[in-house]
Amino acid sequence: MNIKNIANVDNETAKYIKLETERQKNMLEMIPSENYASKAVLEAVGSVLANKYSEGYPRKRYYQGNKYIDEIELIAIERAKKLFKVPYVNVQPYSGSPANAEIYLALMKPGDTLMGLTLSYGGHLTHGSPVSMSGAVYKGVLYDFGEKGKIDFDELEKLALKVKPKIIVASTTAYPRIVDFAKFAKVADKVGAYLLADISHIVGLVIGGCHPDPVPYAHVIMTTTHKTLRGPRGAMIMVTQKGLKKDPDLADKIDKWVFPGLQGGPHDHVTAGIAVCLKEAGTVAFKRYVKQVVANCKVLASELTYYGFDLVSGGTDNHLILIDTHNKGINGRLMAIGLEEAGIILNRNWVPKDEAPPFFPNGIRLGTSALTSRGMREKEMKKVAAWIHKAVEAMKTLEFDYKTWVDIAYGQKKDPQKRKRLDSTFYNLISICPDIKKTAQEIKNFCKRYPVPGIDF
């Protein structure tokens, strides 16, 4: 990836692109919603297709000069149809949030009931949260886990029978277990609801045969393209045969709400990137990659359990792990900051029954998709777990009162100004901690053996 021309025109921006490149090369990227796109995908996204404007759909554009753009979009559509075995695909959504909104607008009226997983139990803002459009325009009714840290479908059915939702969303963003689409479909069919499978996190696993396929059970499927699919930042909406059987006009309704309902012209360079990543996802190599992602995650989970980390639901079946940080005595936000200083990038996250607000949650979320893209396998996951353990143990030795921080951050003595001062103290202590600095250097040296896909400078 050559940025010489950027440097010639805008050295300030080029400087930070270079620094971000170095950051990605020298740190362990473990945020489950991030991955590395291939050089081919990056070339497509950075191509001359960014110059074009293409309102409408292939062969039905409102602008001239789209005959080649049409072919690219049709390639992406046909590849998705073949991979997922579905009759309809729209590849124009800008990202997952507008894609979900477009589905809701096509299938519901304002005030209709939408059922999705509670945010603190691993759901997404767009699945009915009151702070998003999905909960403001529609009546969001949220379900959560059972006592064993997994979805309780008996309780889900009781709730659905009570509220009679128009759509049930089968999806998670921080659920480390298999999503049972068959059980979701049983509930949705019983109450006459549409079943929307948002597979943004697990799409690569579905394609690779490492997760059950939602196509036989869902009416509509939405996925982003940049997580386990390793594509550009975009999204796709698919309608299944089951969906068309329930409503023969379903595809047309969605098309109209994507454009002109919510979006203008598609991002043609991103469409090309989606086409490329779908070609890559149809290979044997991609299936091997996905299997390794899951194998790596299971080993990482086992090792973290050995080091005393409290894993939500006790383990993982997919590409991610959710850790409840209570037993380590360190809030998830502080732990994520400390781990970043040590060279490990993950994200703070709510955990079930979390008493903290979302900005200061008591959990961290991590996964193996990006590390696996760099060629890491099971033995490397053992090293990663050891580094995480070492960094957290180093945080415990700091002259820092974690309990007071919690009380000031969101407890009875809440004081934003004092909390900011304590934050500064924590940052300073972390930055000079010998064990943290040593771990960061070890990780930097380690990362040199595993090149980042798409980076060649």
Annotated binding site: 119, 123-125
**Torsion sign (Cα): 429, 432, 435, 439:** positive
Q: State the DSSP code for 151.
A: B
Is residue 198 flagged as an active site residue? yes
Please identify which of the residues 34, 53, 57, 427 carries the catalytic annotation: 53
CB 288 within 8 A of CB 295: no
Q: Which residues contact 383 (CB under 8 A, 6 or more apart)?
A: 446
| Tokens standing for residue 13 | 């921006």
- Residue 40 vs residues 203, 276, 453, 455: alpha-carbon distances, Å: 20, 7, 10, 11
Q: Which residues contact 67 (CB under 8 A, 6 or more apart)?
A: none
Angle, alpha carbons 93-267-81 (nearest 5°)? 50
Q: State the DSSP code for 140.
A: E
Please identify which of the residues 224, 271, 316, 325 carries the catalytic annotation: 224
* DSSP string of 4-32, one letter each residue: HHHHHH-HHHHHHHHHHHHHHHHSEE--T
Q: Label residues 9-19 b or e (16+ Cβ within 10 Å = b).
A: eeeeebeeeee
Residues at the annotated binding site for (6S)-5,6,7,8-tetrahydrofolate?
Answer: 119, 123-125
Q: State the DSSP code for 452.
A: P
Please identify which of the residues 102, 198, 255, 380 carries the catalytic annotation: 198
CA distance 168 to 188: 7
3-class SS at 96? helix
Please identify which of the residues 34, 43, 55, 189 carries the catalytic annotation: 55
Please identify which of the residues 186, 233, 256, 382 carries the catalytic annotation: 233
CA distance 358 to 150: 21
* DSSP string of 196-249, one letter each residue: EEE-TTTHHHHHTTSS--STTT-SEEEEESSSTT---S-EEEEE-HHHHHH-TT
Alpha carbons within 13 angstroms on the beta-carbon side of residue 345 total: 18
Is residue 233 flagged as an active site residue? yes
- Residue 401 vs residues 397, 418, 436, 437: alpha-carbon distances, Å: 10, 13, 18, 21
Which residue from 331, 313, 333, 334 is spatially nearest to 322, judged by alpha carbons? 313
Is residue 317 flagged as an active site residue? no
CA 128 to chain centre: 17
Please identify which of the residues 79, 177, 227, 242 carries the catalytic annotation: 227
Element (H, E) at 61: strand 60-61
Is residue 53 flagged as an active site residue? yes
Active site residues: 53, 55, 198, 224, 227, 233
